[in-house]
Amino acid sequence: MALLITDECINCDVCEPECPNDAISQGEEIYQIEPGKCTECIGHFETSQCVEVCPVECILVDPDHKEGHDTLMERYRILTGLAAC
């Protein structure tokens, strides 16, 4: 499942640099997560780094992008160039 930043975001800027996939960017009003780049840090870390550093706990699982571990791992492989040719 990809993650989602809710409107409780305070634009503190701590999540964006933590994302190993560059999936987080500044939106019009709050930060946003690109679902096609989010792996919930699978392949990189044991836990989602943005969730770990968020001081207001506004990063949740995106109900519109439910994906299993295997799908997220495959996305990780594609994004890092580790996918089988």
Report the distance separating Cα 44 and Cα 61, nearest Å: 18
The average pLDDT across 12-41 equals: 96
Report the distance separating Cα 24 and Cα 51, nearest Å: 12
Count CB atoms within 10 A of the CB of residue 14: 15
Confidence tier at 83 by pLDDT (50, 70, 90): low
pLDDT per residue as tens digits for the range 32-42? 999 999 999 99
Judge contact between 75 and 15, C-beta under 8 A. no
Q: Mean of the per-residue pLDDT values for the chain?
A: 94
Q: What is the pLDDT of residue 24?
A: 98
pTM of the model: 0.89
| pLDDT of 85 above 70 | no
Domains and CATH numbers, the chain: 3-80 (3.30.70.20)
